[in-house]
C-alpha cells in the first residue's frame, strides 16, 4: 500500500484522522462559542454565526482575532486575551507549524 492510500483510508468518515479532526473542530467551536454566551448584540451574533459555520481548523484559527475584538468591546481586554490563550492551546498539534501563535517582542534601543 502506498502512503497516499493509507492516508486516504484514514480520512474516511468514521475512521482515523478524519473523525479525530472533526471532534477537535467541534470541541474548539464549542469552547469559542462558550466565551460569547451571556453577551448580546449584533457583533456578538455575527461572530457566533461565523464560528458556528467555520468548517475547518484554519477558519477557526483566523476567527480568534474577531473573538478577541468582540470580547474586548463588551468587557476587559486582559480577560479576553487570557481566554484566547486557552483557546490557542486547543489548536496545539493540529495546525501546520507556520500557523501558530507567535510571541511579539518589542525592540528597545
41-71 pLDDT, tens digit each: 999 999 999 999 999 999 999 999 999 999 9
Length of the chain: 109
Taking CA 35 as the corner, what is the angle to CA 76 and CA 56, rounded to the nearest 5 degrees? 125
Distances (CA, A) of 107 to 31, 100, 104: 34, 21, 10
Which residue bears the cell 470580547? 71
Res 51: pLDDT: 97
CB 28 within 8 A of CB 9: no
Please indicate, yes or no, whether the overall pTM of this predicted structure exceeds 0.75.
Answer: no
For the chain, which residues make up each domain, given as ranges?
17-91
pLDDT tens-digit profile of 3-15?
556 655 555 555 5
Q: What is the mean pLDDT of residues 13-23?
A: 69
Amino acid at each position: 500500500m502506498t502512503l497516499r492510500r493509507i492516508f486516504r483510508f484514514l480520512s474516511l468518515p468514521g475512521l482515523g484522522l478524519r473523525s479525530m479532526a472533526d471532534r477537535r473542530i467541534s470541541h474548539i467551536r464549542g469552547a469559542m462559542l462558550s466565551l460569547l454566551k451571556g453577551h448580546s448584540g449584533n457583533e456578538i451574533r455575527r461572530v457566533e454565526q461565523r464560528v458556528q459555520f467555520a468548517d475547518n481548523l484554519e477558519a477557526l484559527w483566523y476567527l480568534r482575532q474577531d473573538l478577541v475584538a468582540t470580547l474586548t468591546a463588551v468587557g476587559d481586554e486582559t480577560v479576553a486575551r487570557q481566554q484566547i490563550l486557552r483557546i490557542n492551546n486547543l489548536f496545539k498539534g493540529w495546525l501546520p507549524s507556520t500557523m501558530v501563535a507567535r510571541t511579539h517582542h518589542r525592540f528597545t534601543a
